[in-house]
Amino acid sequence: MSNDEGSPSGGGRRRPSPARASPLESEDTLSEILVRLPPAPSTLLRASLVSKLWHRLTSDPDFLRRFRARHRRNPPLLGFFIENSHGLYFAPALEPPDRVPGDRFSFPPMDDVSVGEWRFFKLREQLLSCRHGLVLRFHRMCLRGVQVWDPLTGDVSHISNPCKFNTDLVVVGEVLRAAGDVNGDGCSRHFEVVLLVTDLQNAQAFTSVYSSETGVWGNPMSIVCPSIWPVPTSGTLIGRSLYWSLLGEPHWLLEFDLDKQSLSVVDVKLLSPSVKGLIWIMLVDGVVGCLFLSVQDKIELWKRSSDYDGVAGWVLARAFKLDELLPPFKLDELLPVSANADVVKIVGID
């Protein structure tokens, strides 16, 4: 008879099997669970308080990159920037504990304006664009009146106004990350600013591009356009082209090709006499599209298309009945024409 306690012939009891590790004790499994948590501002902070292991995982740079990449398409709306007669400020949109204090995203002062002057000068500032995590602000009374601000890092770039630009004219603009040369978070280290100025009296539009990589503005470009002006909302980036809508009849778009550095006017010729006003420019089936209001209380989505001969035109992609989407309203209430009307100006979603 053997003396081995583990052998059947020894009559001893079997040694207990080692306890199976809990999934929450396995770093790989726990990491896969944590990366699927909702992307609310307080989520990772609260998770990090559970244990030292959770804290170490949620603060790991590789984990944070995975977390951001996974939730890049469904980030929470932290709030929005408001522009009114009192200036620009941030309005939080979430409830505690995810609420971001308004002063967390307070706009930095312009470079060549003293603090004492700021209360007066801020009335002449404009919020032009929000894109790729950057905010573009313009002040027509400052020599370095173009400001690019990263609200999360606090980085600020003060840029001189383009030469030969009359900033007393109508100014719109866009900011976007430059292609290539990305940092550890997958974002480009450099950015581009596109300013568009329209001269109503001479029916011309001028544009110039600033590159943070070179630190200079490119040569200004101009084009003769209809004696109408750009709608004071954000341009739409589709591929490597920016589009702005123009007020007036018929319907026109301004297109700026970032790669070709060319400015052109796009005639939106629709096969429908019922269209009343352009609401928004958007990507539709991989091409530029326009959302219009119709006098028949419908919203019509038109997209750019080419016929067999390569001639560009527009075709109706979809139509929606407003009475099925919205409460009763007057059509003109969605297209304010009075200078005193209250208008919501969307300059970007990021």
> pLDDT tens digits, residue range 247-293?
765 678 889 999 999 999 888 877 677 777 787 888 898 889 988 88
Residue 341: pLDDT over 50: no
* Buried b or exposed e, range 267-306, using 16+ CB within 10 angstroms: ebebeeeebbbbbebeebeeebbbbbbbeeebbbbbbbee
Is 7 part of a structural domain of the chain? no
Give the pLDDT score at 140: 74
Name which residue leads in pLDDT, 116 or 53: 53
**3-class SS at 324?**
helix
pLDDT at residue 335 greater than cutoff 70: no
By CB atoms closer than 10 A (0-12, 13-18, 19+), residue 329 is exposed
Tokens of 261: 């550095």
Same domain, 181 and 230: yes
The answer to the question of residue 88 being in a domain is no
Q: Report if residue 144 sits inside a domain.
A: yes
* Integer Cα distance of 274 and 288 in angstroms: 21
Lowest mean pLDDT among 31-35, 52-56, 75-79, 246-250: 246-250
CA distance 1 to 183: 70
User: Residue 32: is its pLDDT beyond 90?
Assistant: yes
Rounded Cα distance between 106 and 292, Å, is 35
Residue with tokens 């292609």: 179
The residues, ordered by sequence, that sit 6+ positions from 284 with a Cβ below 8 Å of its Cβ are: 301, 303, 317
Output DSSP code: residue 173.
Answer: E
Q: Is residue 340 part of a domain?
A: no
**209 and 316 share a domain?**
yes
Q: Which helix (H) or strand (E) holds 147?
A: strand 146-149
The answer to whether residue 219 sits within a structural domain is yes
Q: Is 330 found in the same domain as 218?
A: yes
Domain of 298, CATH number, reads 2.120.10
Does 349 reside within a domain?
Answer: no
Mark whether 205 and 60 lie in a shared domain.
Answer: no
- Tokens 């080419």 — which residue? 306
pLDDT score for 20: 60
- The stretch 328-347 carries a mean pLDDT of 50
Nearest CA among 105, 103, 137 for reference residue 121: 137
Q: What is the per-residue pLDDT for 116?
A: 47
Domain boundaries, position 28? 22-70
- Which H or E run includes 287? strand 287-294
Query: 20 versus 193: which is more confidently predicted?
Result: 193
Question: Residues 302, 237: one domain?
Answer: yes
Whether residues 66 and 170 share a domain: the answer is no
The answer as to whether 1 is a domain residue is no
Q: Which residues pair with 287 in a beta bridge?
A: 284
SS3 content of the chain, % helix, strand, coil (to 5): 15, 35, 45
Q: CA-to-CA distance for 195 and 139, rounded, in angstroms? A: 12
pLDDT greater at residue 98 or residue 308: 98
Contact 278, 300 (CB under 8 A): no
Buried b (16+ CB within 10 A) or exposed e, 33-55: ebbeeeebeebbeebbeeeeebe
Q: Which two tokens stand for residue 349?
A: 């979603």
Q: How many domains does the chain have?
A: 2
| φ, ψ of residue 43 in degrees (nearest 5) | -60, -55
Residues 184, 251, single domain; the answer is yes
Answer yes or no: is pLDDT of 210 > 50: yes
Residue range 81-115, pLDDT digits in tens: 888 777 788 999 999 999 999 889 988 887 665 44
Residue 348 near residue 131, CB atoms below 8 Å: yes
Same domain (yes/no): 57, 117: no
State the pTM of this model. 0.76
